[in-house]
Amino acid sequence: MITALTLLPVFGGFAVLLLARSRAAARILAVAVAVAALALAIFIWHSFNPSTPGMQFEQWHAWVPSLGIAYHVGVDGLGVLMLAVSAMVVLMSLAASWSNSNHGPVYFALVLFLEAGLFGTFTALNFIHWFIFWELSLIPAFFLVRLWGGQGRARAATQFFLYTMVGSIALLLSFLAIYLATSQPNAPGCFDFVQLAQLAHSGQLTTALAQNLHWGLSADTTGMLLFWAAFLGFAVKTAVVPFHTWVPAAYSEASSETTMLLTGAMSKMGVYGFLRILLPIFPQEMQRALTPLLWLAVATIVLPAFAAWVQRDLKRTFAYSSVNHLGYCVLGVCVAAKLAGSEIEKAAALTGVLLQIFSHALTASALFWFIALLERRTEGWRGIDEFGGLRRVVPVFSGLMGIAIFASLGLPGLNGFPGEFLIFKGAFPLAPWAASISVLGLLMTAIFLLTVIQKVFSGPVNPRWELLPDLTTAERLAFVPVIALMFLIGLYPQLITGMVHATVMQWVAGVRF
Amino acid sequence: MSWIVRSLWLIPVLPMLAAGVSALLKREQRRLSASLAIGSMGISFVLALSAFAQALAEPARQVVNFGWMQFGNQWVSLGWLLDPLAAVMLVMVTLVGLLIFIYSLGYMAHDDNFTRFFCFLSLFAGAMLGVVIANSLLLLFMCWEVVGLTSYLLIGFWFQRPAAAAAAKKAFVTTRIGDLGLLIGMVWLYAQSGTLLFYDHGAGCLEQSALTTMAAHVTIAGMAVSTAIGLLIFCGAAGKSGQVPLHVWLPDAMEGPTPVSALIHAATMVAAGVYLVARVYPLMTHSALAVVAWVGAITAFFAACIAVAQNDIKRILAYSTVSQLGYMMLGLGVGSVAVGMFHLITHAFFKALLFLGAGSVIHGCSDEQDIRNMGGLRRFMPVTFLTYAAGMLALCGFPLFAGFWSKDEILHAAHGWGLSRGPFYLGAIGALLTAFYMTRQVFYVFFGPRRTTETRSEPVGSHHGPVHAAAEPHESPGVMTGPLVVLALFATLLGFVGTPAWPWFQSFLSGTPNSFDLARFNEPGLIPLMLSSSVLVFAGLLLGWWLYGREPILRGTDPDALQRLQPGIFHALANRLYVDEFFGLTVIALTRFASAFSSWLDRWIWGGAVRLVSFLTVGLGWLDAGVDRYLVNGGFDAGCRDLARGGRLFSSLQSGRVQNYLRVIAAALVVLAVLLLWGRRG
């Protein structure tokens, strides 16, 4: 099932490349493939049994047995959620590209390849297998930014690629060391996430690091070294301050449809790594590094929120907003690693993280979709100070984007609130100071988002945009499910929390010693 | 459990549904949108009356709880409740709301965005009713935030005016500052008591076991946890209810249409903070209540001072609202839930009346809002004048009007407060000031000759389509004066449900039986207090008449009577005591600096580090390339050249000429022979 899901967009991508002679054919084919992928992801969601912990739909095939490499896929609550998120974001992005005449067959094929990379990353359970997809997804993303971006695209794409690459190499080295440590004279080492989590929880991993790695370091130091190396990989991808500087450049230079993919789906790969790898495999190291980790999380929440206020480019503003929103995820994961602490609060924080993943994917993609439409209508104008009074000229556009903006600032009743509430509910008792500073992020989010509304939608109409066309019927229809989902998650978050509770309890048990 | 308790959720949901439907309507479907809003509000009003009847029949609290979302194996629960407190608020909000909806039909009749206006109003009403019936601090908070959103949307309703857009943002952000405290208080309460349900058959966070635990825990500075949580929750209440220093948004909120000011920024939403404190009253410890009392008293006095020197008819009322909200908080702090809530209810009616009256005046004067440019309107607008006078007397606390009873009760409680007399004196002076500034306003607006000046400010609401001929003020249509009359009746008579002789309201809220007993007036100190507060009110009225009514004000450009007496003080008050400027120079400047600094960090420190690494890498690359080109490549080339030369050298040996070979061989033989001979001899 999962293999089929991953292969579908691969074949789809090749089909687009080979069969589609025209843009029109390419986009129909690509959207059809994305719809099929979403249907399959929903089917998996539907047949997933949320009350059992552990992996479901597992498949295991030996690949290179002598090196412990296997084809091992499966999903738990997190995996199911990520599949749905990826399929949803890709479909939204393709829908946004629908009327962008710059995006031809090659673009659509690359998006589908990227989707395959995402599916692979979110289902693979063997490190090498996972790492291949992790890196493979980077390649289409690089070309998407490099070839269809704005003026500074070359620089942004290179920075994006190299920066993530540096993180990935640190991650790879860390796992090679773990492999060496776990290998026996007559048996290969361990690359399997599930097994590694068990080893870590029973304490055998630390012992193995002490005995088998002759680095002249204590077991604790070795563990911390490997943890920070792996952390770097995910920190760059999630964009944890101070490893976030590629984000504003890449998000604003890429075409908005590509940015939807970057912020909606690819940034979630980093958070996924935190949850799938750091928390289960390095729980003790996370506990030891808790204070610096919390500082990083707080910095990721607060600093970009402040920086967003002084940006003059809508895309940069929302890029910083995106960093800020993922900061809440980092905070939630980190507090959950705290050794002493109520398990109820840890469960709340982790559930909040999962809700936030979904909700941010939805909101951020929607926001960049609106910007894509705006850019297409204004031929690239998107400075905050270059508009004014749009609410009178394009009322439907303004109203719908307003809903997305309020979802982004965490208005109850829309999708942003339940996740942020649960994260704070969990984080405050576990780390009161971190949570208390982080609320500044909530305040600044309100300030800069309302400033956007004030400058762009309110005030006297800027005569330049007096004839700006409002959303077409097709565009309105395309937004109906998106906006409906925002209300649905906001009013009935159980839709998601009900899928992940067993997984969350398993993680909580995993950090208990 | 009766049907009304089970279906209590309909009361907020109906207006919300109406809002949802009319959000999808076209701009032209004005009639449908208004009917939806008024119809749903009417049904809610009827339901609220049934709920009220139910609460009368059975004052015990009834709750309905349900699970909302799951985290791990726990559930976040929400729920609603019906108790006398909620019942009273339900009736007040639906009734005042309904009247203001009807009034808006007339007031907004010419507005382009009429449909949208009723959509927002309905959403507001639904959210506010949600706040009222919430049995969970979380649900209350959620509705509370939606209330904040609708307030934002309605303040900025005429969004093309930059002032309105700015005021809307200011309101949202300022109240959100308070809400952050509320959020922290809420998650702290959740962690401490394990639930956010207020009442849950003994397990709720306002019930005995949770309260005992929280009172026993001590947090920083020797404060009980419940005190800390109570104060954090009060932060939220202070933001919403415009308590000093978070009051700055409320006067600016008058940029919204007048029915909005009446409904949201006078009668209901701003009272939500008071209601919140009343709702979590069991949580408020004595120390927390002392803070509430002081903040309330200072607000009551401070805002009354500023109101004295304002010239915008709505701004005067806005500062008056801030001041009255301070009284309510004071009543909660020094007295009980009933004391604060009684003033909340009476205030809702007479302040809605005053705002709607002001709206009628503005409407009749072609969108003029400056009281200096009005005058003599009692002849043109008799109904508005009479109802306005009733509201004004109620607000001043004129004996027997509604405000008299409720305000006196607050002063009575403040007088008997054990900790300090300060709040009482602040409240008493505030009462005098209230009478004074309202008299000033009424004389400016309704008495004297009709003043129109050439220098009138640019018409504020260009929404009224073609501007009326500015010459003749006119009385408003019946759809607007009707609600005024109804509200005036309430403003006059409502106080009688809570007099000392017949404290029906108070005993209803506290669930004790009540009776009519004139002897309660004999309580020591009560009559003297009532007398002295009446004297203060009369003093204020007289002073107002002396300065503004004795001689008719002839020209709007004349300096204010108070300005002639005390120019310095008047100037400072007219500038709102520079609170906004103070915030601009401190908090806002700091935030701007932090933003610029954060952006600078990004560009030069974090980004700089990355660039440094990349420059180093590129530098290393150049170095490497240089080494390659000049050392490695150069060496290689040199080596190749040497080899080639060597090859040429050697190849010259192999010339292919046999004679040469033979010659070499012969020479070699000779050398060999010589060597061999040499060796043998050696």
Domain holding A426, by residue range, is 291-513
Domain count, chain A: 1
Q: Is B68 on the interface with A (CB under 8 A)?
A: yes
* CA nearest to B149 within chain A: A411
Please report which helix (H) or strand (E) contains residue B66, including its range.
strand B62-71
Structure tokens at A461: 């109409």
B70 closest CB neighbour out of A246, A447, A501? A501
Model confidence at B454: pLDDT above 70: no
Residue B63, min C-alpha distance to chain A (Å):
21
Structure tokens at A403: 């809903």
Cβ neighbours of B155 in A, within 8 Å: none
The residue that leads in pLDDT, B573 or A487, is: A487
Structure tokens at B401: 């009007």
Scanning A329-388 for CB atoms below 8 A from B yields: 342-345, 347-348, 350-352
Q: What is the arithmetic mean of pLDDT over A247-275? A: 93
pLDDT of residue B640: 85
Q: How confident is the model at residue A10 (pLDDT cuts 50, 70, 90)?
A: very high
Of chain A, the percentage scoring pLDDT greater than 90 comes to 73
Tell me, letter by letter, the H, E, C secondary structure of B337-396.
HHHHHHHHHHHHHHHHHHHHHHHHHHHHCCCCCEHHHCCCHHHHCHHHHHHHHHHHHHHH
Which residues lie below 8 Å from residue B206, measured CB to CB, with a gap of 6+? B198, B199, B280, B282, B283
Model confidence at B682: pLDDT above 80: no
According to DSSP, the residues that pair with A59 across neighbouring strands are A73
* CA nearest to A430 within chain B: B191
Reported as a single tens digit per residue, the pLDDT across A164-177 is: 988 999 999 999 99
pLDDT of residue B465: 41
Is the Cβ pair A411, B169 closer than 8 Å?
A: no
pLDDT of residue B388: 94
Residue A225 lies in a domain: no
ipTM score of the complex? 0.94
Q: What is the arithmetic mean of pLDDT over B540-545? A: 92
Residue A154 lies in a domain: no
Residue A37 lies in a domain: no
Reported as a single tens digit per residue, the pLDDT across A422-467 is: 999 999 999 999 999 999 999 999 999 999 999 999 989 988 888 8
pLDDT of residue B469: 43
The residue among A169, A247, A303, A486 with the most chain B CBs within 10 A of its CB, best to mutate, is A303
Scanning B557-596 for CB atoms below 8 A from A yields: 591-592, 594-596
Residue A113 lies in a domain: no
Residue B606, min C-alpha distance to chain A (Å):
6
Residue A433 lies in a domain: yes
Residue A99 lies in a domain: no
* pTM of the predicted protein model: 0.91
Is the Cβ pair B70, A391 closer than 8 Å?
A: no
Q: Is A420 on the interface with B (CB under 8 A)?
A: no
Model confidence at A322: pLDDT above 60: yes
Rounded Cα distance between B58 and B16, Å, is 28
DSSP A292-323: HHHHHHHHHHHHHHHHHHT--BHHHHHHHHHH
Which residues lie below 8 Å from residue B169, measured CB to CB, with a gap of 6+? A450, A451, A453, A454, B152, B156
Nearest alpha carbon to residue A310 among A384, A213, A253, A380: A384
Rounded Cα distance between B368 and B384, Å, is 16
Residue A456 lies in a domain: yes
Q: Is A487 on the interface with B (CB under 8 A)?
A: no
C-beta separation of B84 from B59 below 8 A? yes
Residue A248 lies in a domain: no
Cβ neighbours of B76 in A, within 8 Å: 422
Please report which helix (H) or strand (E) contains residue B80, including its range.
strand B74-82
Rounded Cα distance between B104 and B453, Å, is 29
* CA nearest to A163 within chain B: B610
Is the Cβ pair B591, A306 closer than 8 Å?
A: yes
Q: Is B17 on the interface with A (CB under 8 A)?
A: no
Q: Are strands A69-75 and B62-71 parallel, antiparallel or unpaired?
A: unpaired
Residue A501, min C-alpha distance to chain B (Å):
4
Model confidence at B464: pLDDT above 50: no
pLDDT of residue A66: 84
Residue B497, min C-alpha distance to chain A (Å):
37
Reported as a single tens digit per residue, the pLDDT across B99-122 is: 999 999 988 888 888 999 999 999
